[in-house]
Structure 1
């Protein structure tokens, strides 16, 4: 039954398209032929393409959301700032939707403080991001945590402008 309706729809569409083409001109302002399916919703001839484009748009939006992979922190803090919660949320959605995907959370600090203290602070920061991800439903097996402390600065310098760029967790997709 469904196959017969499908073949009928294809036949009608073909006739409409051939009729439009037989005039020798193509009028781009002409309405697109519409087939009303059994659900009662109109389906244009490009319906499959539109669904494919919507899925592609969603993937593109998701990829754009993942371009920001850095969460910055205040001095001597491992509390995720409000403005970076959207970054964590984007990665939580990505990881939840892709159970085979994994990330490495790299904790960093500015140059102030001892090496040992900064390794611990970098780890606390990375663990804060890990905890936010797992609270959002990401499996712990998808997350690796490492702290570099002050050993890998993003910006060289001895002022607040440099330090603020070094107090971070980088989310690396593996």
Structure 2
């Protein structure tokens, strides 16, 4: 099962990286996502919240409780790559959605204020679509709607790196 998910994630990441070229021939390349090392999942080990990880492994990723309580996943600058922390969070949502068929999901993509309005709308849309594809590939159903707000709805209006980090996100709403 884990091999299948790993293979699907590898294929998904390959598709994402090849689809990131913008119309003006400027190519956006996503660096390899930085991840916190997490040991192989041992089915006999602790399985906190059905994540396949122990509480210590979740804490190492910055998740202090049930990953499904996290409704926002964040992205690096100019990137659509889903990092390990976000994969765990989205995996928890996918398990819930797979068990609750028919649940409608709204995926709202956002970008920070840097870049043009049109570029940020497109980037927010790509981020929401990547999350949608991740959920769909994890058998969460395809009952989701993506929308991009680009830079229009910042959670932090400061003009600092930490504010921009909080604004580069996809919100999962159901």
Instruction: State the TM-score, normalized to the length of structure 2.
Output: 0.62
Pairwise CA distance, 1:100: 1.9
* Equivalent of 2:78 in 64, 68, 76: 76
CA deviation digits over 1:55-114, x for unaligned, max 9? Answer: xx98xxxx9432101100000001111111111001100100000211100000000001
Partner of 1:39: none
SS at match of 2:118: helix
Deviations 1:108-149 (A, max 9, x none): 000000110000000000011001000001221x11000000
Alignment of 1:3-18 (within 5 A): none
User: Which residue is 1:151 aligned to?
Assistant: 152
SS of the aligned residue for 2:69 comes to coil
| 1:152 aligned counterpart, secondary structure | coil
Paired position in structure 2 for 1:116: 118
How many equivalent residue pairs? 112
Which consecutive unaligned segments of at least 5 residues does structure 1 have?
Answer: 1-56
- 1:3 aligned residue: none
Rg larger for: 1
- SS, match of residue 95 in structure 2: helix
Q: Does 2:86 match 1:66?
A: no
For 1:77 and 1:143, the matched residues in 2 are separated by 22
Rounded Cα–Cα distance in structure 2 between residues aligned with 1:125 and 1:111: 15
Instruction: State the SS of the aligned residue for 1:129.
Output: helix
Q: Which residue of 2 aligns with 1:162?
A: 163
| Partner SS for 2:140 | coil
Q: Which has the higher strand share?
A: 1
Distance 1:65 1:98 in 2: 17
- TM-score w.r.t. structure 1 length? 0.62
- Secondary structure in structure 1 of the residue aligned to 2:133: helix
Bigger fraction of residues in helix: 1
Secondary structure in 2 matching 1:66: helix
